[in-house]
Amino acid sequence: MKLMVTAGPTREPVDPVRFVSNRSSGKMGYAVAAAAQLRGHDVLLVSGPVAIKAPGGVELIMVETADQMQRAVMAGFNKVDALVMAAAVADWRPAVVHVQKQKKSSTSLTLPLEPVPDILAQLAGIKGSRLVVGFAAETENLLSEAQRKLSAKRLDMIVANDVTAPDAGFEVDTNRVVLVWPDGSSRELPCMPKTDVAEYIIDWLEENLPASAT
Ligand code: C5P
């Protein structure tokens, strides 16, 4: 199959030297890209800024902002059979980006933020037979939030993880996830290396892709 994977955080500029971002390390998305490549699939990896090395043999597009990630995903989407959206795309960004570095002052600073358009939600209407997998990193109500996002973004599967657990979520090498499907079924996986979670995701894609795409 041809698979697009997104990974890492996005950076939303405040001014030329500052940005708003999150704790995503990119490890989960990079593990999915590596697992798919090792199984002989064609992989396009769209990555935000991360400190890890891209797996060999994948096509890599580096981006910084959510806008750039959206453009890269839209440009690649019609060429792939499946998308795994593991990137922690910003939910808000500074409403105004200052051209000059903002000066330090003794008064407090308020930073107005505006919502970032949801990339997955925009793909819902054009996905056709492609399989689209999202992630839900939650700190409360894990399953209900994952179900809500699964249906709002019209996903085929969502990988939910409670990011409050010390051995799961951002930055660490292991993850503790629940796979959730649109029919309401779910499968809780024990804590395992992100590389093993990636194998489960690729297994599911291989089993559920239309025969023409395998
Ligand atoms: O931020 P949220 O919890 O809604 O993210 C869930 C899923 O939606 C993730 O797969 C993430 O990559 C995706 N997302 C997106 N565009 C955004 C925010 C999140 O596609 N602007």
Ligand 1 pocket check: which of 65, 89, 135, 180 to mutate, most ligand atoms within 8 Å of Cβ?
89
Q: Distance from the CA of 148 to the center of ligand 1, in angstroms? A: 12
Q: What is the DSSP letter of 73?
A: H
Q: Distance from the CA of 104 to the center of ligand 1, in angstroms? A: 33
Residue 118 has a pLDDT of 96
Q: Answer for the pair 139, 146: CB distance below 8 angstroms, yes or no.
A: no
What residue's CA is closest to ligand 1, atom 19? 89
pTM: 0.96
Long-range contacts of 139-148 (CB under 8 A, 24+ apart): 139/163, 139/164, 142/178, 143/178, 143/180, 143/186, 146/178, 146/180, 147/180, 147/184
Q: What is the DSSP letter of 8?
A: S
CA distance 132 to 159: 11
Active-site residue flag, 22 = yes
What residue's CA is closest to ligand 1, atom 21? 118
Q: From the CB of 145, is ligand 1 less than 6 Å away?
A: no
Parse the chain into domains and list their residue ranges: 2-92+113-213
Residue 164 has a pLDDT of 87
pLDDT less than 50: residues of the chain: none
Q: Distance from the CA of 85 to the center of ligand 1, in angstroms? A: 8
Q: Answer for the pair 81, 2: CB distance below 8 angstroms, yes or no.
A: yes
CA distance 116 to 172: 26
Q: Which CATH superfamily is domain 2-92+113-213 in?
A: CoaB-like (3.40.50.10300)
Closest ligand 1 atom to Cα of 66: 21
Q: From the CB of 89, is ligand 1 less than 6 Å away?
A: yes
Nearest to 119, CA basis, from 139, 149, 162: 149
Residue 181 has a pLDDT of 98
- β-partners of residue 186 are 180
